[in-house]
Amino acid sequence: MNGTECMKISDVDTRDAFFDELFRMARVDRNVIFMTADMGAFSLERFKQNLPEQYINVGVAEQNMVSVAAGLALGGKNVFIYSIVPFVTLRCYEQIKVDLSGMNLPVTIIGIGAGVMYGGDGPTHHALHDIAVMRTLPGMTIINPTDSVLTEASVRWAYNHPGPVYIRLEKGKLPLLYDDRNHDLQKGWSEVREGQDVVIFSTGFMVHTALKAAESLAREGLSVRVIDVFKVKPLNEPDLIDMMLRAERIVTLEENSLIGGLGTALAEIRADAGCGVPMKRLACPDSHCTIPSSRDSIHRHYRLDADHVAERVLNWVRNNRETA
């Protein structure tokens, strides 16, 4: 057995945590159907081998994948579709809008490659606009899990959810922030670090960056609270507004374009709530990233690595400004 049953979850790649859990669910429920637009993963092999009737490679045809998934869902199936983020969100956006959101069907979109995870593969493979566009779709739930535990829990949550879900999937091992493998995603956020001076709202991979930055800032005498907003839509507005109203300063940190992501979403509810607490959004600039380099290197270039984030927050708090 090569799944997570015999491994500590801390040793499991986030992507494997997802597919291992999906396999476990599909094994006991033949209505679970997995579709891929010609994307594989080591952890998918046993799904393909053991449940061939529930595993469909549609080829490089994301638009058709979404429509077929809608048809399967109309036929009573619980469908999970998979490809690289821009291809399974932007390429087939109109199919998602009409067929999944419009008909409110239980299809889970799994996008691999959050943010600039694909690094030097370039802007065709980067996911910097998906949160912005997917969150405009009525009835869409967006989950951006932070570690293997939350990733695994997101499979079960999506399985039980009666409408469309978009899960932004990571690859590789990330430090565990959660220990309850039955974590209920309903609340939508978690406090992963306490603090008083600044609240950083972050999501996905960048929550880890926020925690590292908070550690640095603590050494500078700044107490930083970090909130993991793992459910980007629907936002838990009452809780988030309450936290914003109680904050001294608000920072949002994300691996999405500055336009339309978590920062925008929180700015919207902050405005509607009449909250005047100072706010700073840290995100990828409004540009296509053609730097042929790693994710870490791109983050440094965009000043989104932990050191730069700490410096930017400190500069903003101490000098009320942030240099370019």
Which of 20, 323, 319 has its CA nearest to residue 153?
20
Q: What part of residues 11-50 is at the interface with other proteins (CB under 8 A)?
A: 30, 33
Residue 267: partners with Cβ closer than 8 Å, 6 or more residues away: 252, 279, 281
Q: Which of 20, 99, 152, 254 binds other proteins (CB under 8 A)?
A: 99
When the beta carbons of 84 and 92 are compared against other proteins, the nearer one is: 92
Question: What is the nearest approach in angstroms of other proteins to the Cβ of residue 38?
Answer: 12
Number of amino acids touching other proteins (CB under 8 A): 26
Q: Does 133 bind other proteins (CB under 8 A)?
A: no
Q: Does 67 bind other proteins (CB under 8 A)?
A: yes
Q: Which of 59, 162, 175, 278 binds other proteins (CB under 8 A)?
A: 59
Q: Does 94 bind other proteins (CB under 8 A)?
A: yes
Q: Does 58 bind other proteins (CB under 8 A)?
A: yes
When the beta carbons of 30 and 246 are compared against other proteins, the nearer one is: 30
Could you give the CA distance from residue 235 to residue 232 in angstroms, rounded to a whole number?
A: 6
When the beta carbons of 65 and 210 are compared against other proteins, the nearer one is: 65
Q: Which of 24, 77, 281, 299 binds other proteins (CB under 8 A)?
A: 77
Q: Which of 66, 137, 185, 266 binds other proteins (CB under 8 A)?
A: 66
Q: Does 61 bind other proteins (CB under 8 A)?
A: yes
Segment near other proteins (CB under 8 A); pick from 96-104, 154-162, 179-187, 203-211: 96-104
* 201 CB neighbour count, 10 Å cutoff: 28
Segment near other proteins (CB under 8 A); pick from 65-73, 172-180, 281-289, 311-319: 65-73
Segment near other proteins (CB under 8 A); pick from 63-71, 137-145, 163-171, 255-263: 63-71
Question: What is the nearest approach in angstroms of other proteins to the Cβ of residue 79?
Answer: 8
Q: Does 64 bind other proteins (CB under 8 A)?
A: yes
| Distance (Å) of CA 22 to CA 46, 154, 186, 246, 308 | 11, 10, 19, 39, 37
Segment near other proteins (CB under 8 A); pick from 18-26, 74-82, 132-140, 199-207: 74-82
Residue 15: partners with Cβ closer than 8 Å, 6 or more residues away: 41, 43, 112, 151, 169, 170, 171, 172
Could you give the CA distance from residue 97 to residue 136 in angstroms, rounded to a whole number?
A: 9
Q: Which of 3, 102, 163, 285 binds other proteins (CB under 8 A)?
A: 102
Specify whether the backbone of 147 is left (phi greater than 0), alpha (psi in -120 to 50) or beta. beta
Cβ-in-10-Å burial (0-12, 13-18, 19+) of 323 comes to exposed
Q: Which of 40, 71, 172, 292 binds other proteins (CB under 8 A)?
A: 71
> Residues interacting with other proteins, by CB under 8 A?
30, 33, 53, 58-59, 61, 63-64, 66-77, 94-95, 98-99, 102-103
